[in-house]
Chains A and B, each alone.
Chain A
Amino acid sequence: MPQLVHYPRIEVAGEDALIIYLDKVANSATIKKIAQLKNNIANTLGDYVVELVPSYASLLVIFDPLKTDYFAVKKVLRTLLTANTTEMASSQKIIELPVYYSPESGPDLKTLATSAGLSIEDVIKIHQQTIYQVFAIGFAPGFAFLGEVDERIACARLTSPRAKVPKGSVGIADRQTAIYPNESPGGWNLIGLCPQTLFNPNVPPYLTYQVGDNVKFKAITQAEFLELGGEL
């Protein structure tokens, strides 16, 4: 396979889109760089920009090809990539989300613990120990990919996805974790339920987090879960 591995790199994506690859892997430094770049592009290109889609280690820039063109946009992106911009203050905020971990609310908790050679209590403890970062938002409205899950509880996706995953389900897939903001099909290993509404399309700011935010989980009891409005 031919290799094309220098970073950062700008590639054509389509007639109205360029994609910037910042790095091979996603980490907090890359996420921060992407957030900064996203702001700078929005400010510089103004209404030439139709959409900016950050995800892990890349940023897709969709522009209006009838207002500007590929050369102009690429030139601006190159300049912004090399410019010594002042660092944005990074988000120090940690969003804490309550989770009712149990075999009752997390149907894959037992299997995950068994295959990891851990007790259920250990899995719950390890899942709460990490401060995760939002690497990307997509798949479904408000669905945030959080990383990185401790290697000890990382777990491959289910071989056959569930047709219905309940709203608020907390799942693990490989080294990522996420909360399903609404009922949807899904193949992640479910370990608990979060009673909090994360995506509300009717009330601003609509979504609890954005790319780059820090997230932490806190175990709650069944009684607390129900009190917070959770449904079993």
Chain B
Amino acid sequence: MNNTDTSHFEVVHPGILTTFQDLGRFGQSHLGLTSGGPADKQAYLWANRLLNNSENCPILEVNFGGLKLIAKTSTTIAVTGANAPLTINGHAKETWRSHQVNADDLIEIGYASEGCRIYLAVFEGFLVEPQFNSVATVIREKVGGTKGTAVAVGELLFYKQTPKQTLYALKAKDIPRYTDPLTVQVVIGYQHALFERGELAKFFSNEYQVSAQCDRMGYRINGPAIQSGISQLLSEGICKGAIQIPPDGQPIILSVDRQTIGGYPKLGSVLSLDLDLLMQSSQGAKIHFEPISIHCAHTRLHLAKAKYQKTKLIKVDQ
């Protein structure tokens, strides 16, 4: 870090779990390192885009809320993701837009009421030393962020001091909604052909509920048990969104902090666009699954990208 970059936020309260994230850590699976990255990539991307940042700019992922920061110099921030109260010096502010903050401003993010992960970006990104080409914090691996841990009280979060910027907002119609129940699409794959048809039909026609075991590594969901009929499987690479069926039949959907390899049978993987929404859900949320082909998945990804690029931000006043 450069000596001139002394602008920072001081953490007054870190919230339940706040970590630095960028797009993720790739090409390190030979060391057993997972990707990390934002649990909800769409909300993450919007936060950076509202500030005209590049896509890989380090930002804060605030899980559940409860973050309090004091700005030591002026900058511009943007807050997206879960619906949580944002205040600056006690004044309510809208999320899904950028805000000018001045020296000594107190920024508070309350607890989320719809969704559970909030993204706070700062103009040109936080200044964090990357590890294995990424700042993405994976606490289980003690890698990324600052010392591989969550943001702590009293910590200083550095950024570049910048002149005033034009402020932008996302139109209300373009803001994602985090609904319950949620239907997620699943690309059929891995060992799906070894499952009995009836077991797959059970999975795709019943309602499941997010259990208490849900975090950035994966979501265990409860519902009718699925039998894979596969007793032994060599450990193999796990992609993001993979749906594991352990012996008790309660599926586990693996996410950004997943292990790189594992030996449970899998029936496919949740589409990334829907995994973003699933990662905003919490214990008790109702989930339905819908099978799609990989061709259909690619169409959805291209359409989503085109829509993202065509969506225009609106200029807003302070």
Q: A residues within 8 Å of B by Cβ?
A: 1-2, 4, 11-17, 19, 25-26, 50-60, 62, 65-66, 69-70, 136-143, 145, 182, 199, 201, 206-207, 210-211
Question: Interface stretch among B98-106, B114-122, B207-215, B290-298?
Answer: B290-298
Q: Which residues of A contact B109 (CB under 8 A)?
A: none
> Are B234 and A26 within 8 A (Cβ)?
yes
Kindly list 18 other residue pairs between chains A and B, CB separation below 8 angstroms, not including A15-B297, A52-B29, A207-B31.
A1-B194, A1-B196, A1-B230, A12-B190, A13-B237, A13-B239, A14-B268, A15-B241, A15-B298, A16-B240, A53-B29, A53-B237, A60-B238, A66-B301, A138-B262, A139-B259, A142-B31, A182-B142
Bound-state CA distance A148–B229 (Å) is: 26
- Asked whether, in the complex, the Cβ of B239 is within 8 Å of the Cβ of A62, the reply is yes
CB distance from A105 to the nearest CB of B (A): 24
- Verify if B55 is at the interface (C-beta below 8 Å from A): no
Q: Is the CB of B131 within 8 A of A201?
A: yes
The complex places the Cα of A55 from the Cα of B263 at a distance, in Å, of 10
B298 lies within 8 A of A14 (CB):
no
- Interfacial chain A residues near B294, Cβ < 8 Å: 12, 15, 70
- For the complex, give the distance between the alpha carbons of A59 and B239 in Å: 12
With A70-B298, A138-B260 known to touch, is A19 a contact of B236 (CB < 8 Å)?
Answer: yes
B266 contacts across to A, CB distance below 8 A: 13
Q: Are A65 and B298 in contact (CB under 8 A)?
A: yes
Residues of B within 8 A of A66 (CB): 301-302, 305
- Which residues of chain A are near B295, meaning CB under 8 Å? 70
A14 pairs with B235, CB closer than 8 A: no
**From A57, which residue of chain B is reached at the shortest CB distance?**
B234
Q: Quick check: is B189 within 8 A (CB to CB) of the other chain? A: yes
On whether the beta carbons of A55 and B261 are closer than 8 Å, the reply is yes
* Tally of A-B Cβ pairs under 8 angstroms: 137
Question: How far apart sit A16 and B302, CA to CA, in the bound complex (Å)?
Answer: 13
Instruction: Say which residue of B142, B194, B235 sits within 8 Å of A136 (CB atoms).
Output: B235
**Within the assembled complex, what's the spacing in Å between the Cα atoms of A26 and B232?**
13
**Given A15-B298, A56-B236, A60-B236, do A138 and B259 touch, yes or no (CB 8 Å)?**
yes
Q: A12-B188, A70-B295 are in contact. Are A19 and B237 (CB under 8 A)?
A: yes
B90 on interface, CB distance cutoff 8 Å: no
- Across-interface contacts of A57 in B (CB, < 8 A): 234
Closest 3 CB pairs of A and B: A60-B237, A14-B269, A53-B237
Contact status B229-A139, CB under 8 Å = no
Do A206 and B31 touch across chains, with their CB atoms under 8 A apart?
A: yes
- Are B29 and A201 interface neighbours, CB within 8 A? no
| B232 vs chain A, min Cβ distance (A) | 10
B51 within 8 A of A: no
Q: Which residues on A sit within 8 Å (CB–CB) of B30? A: 137, 207, 210-211
Contact mask for chain B residues 53-87; partner A; CB cutoff 8 A; 1 contact, 0 none: 00000000000000000000000000000000000
Query: Which of chain B's residues have a CB closer than 8 A to the CB of A142?
Result: 31-32
Once bound together, how far apart are the Cα atoms of A62 and B258, in whole Å?
A: 15
**Residue B153 CB within 8 A of the other chain:** no
Residues on B with C-beta less than 8 A from A140 are 32, 140-141
A-B contacts, 29 of them at CB < 8 A, read A4-B193, A4-B194, A12-B188, A13-B189, A13-B190, A13-B237, A14-B239, A14-B269, A15-B187, A15-B269, A17-B189, A17-B237, A19-B189, A19-B236, A25-B234, A26-B234, A51-B27, A52-B29, A60-B236, A65-B297, A65-B298, A70-B294, A70-B298, A138-B261, A139-B32, A139-B261, A199-B31, A201-B143, A210-B30
Query: In the complex the two chains form, what is the Cα distance from A189 to B229 in whole Å?
Result: 28
Tell me, in angstroms, the Cα distance from A137 to B26 when the chains sit together. Answer: 15
- B residues 125-156 near A (Cβ < 8 Å) are 131-132, 140-143
Distance (whole angstroms) from the CB of B1 to the closest CB of chain A: 17
State in angstroms the CA–CA spacing of A80 and B268 once bound together. 25
- Of the candidates A4, A12, A25, A140, the one having the most CB atoms from chain B within 10 angstroms of its own CB is A12
Among the listed B189, B238, B240, B305, which residue makes an inter-chain contact with A12, where contact means beta carbons less than 8 Å apart?
B189
CA distance A4 to B230 in the complex (A): 12
1/0 per residue B246-267: CB within 8 Å of A?
0000000000000111100010
Tell me the complex Cα distance, A17–B26, Å.
14
Interface residues of B in 161-188 (CB under 8 A from A): 187-188
**Interface flag for B278 (CB, 8 Å):** no
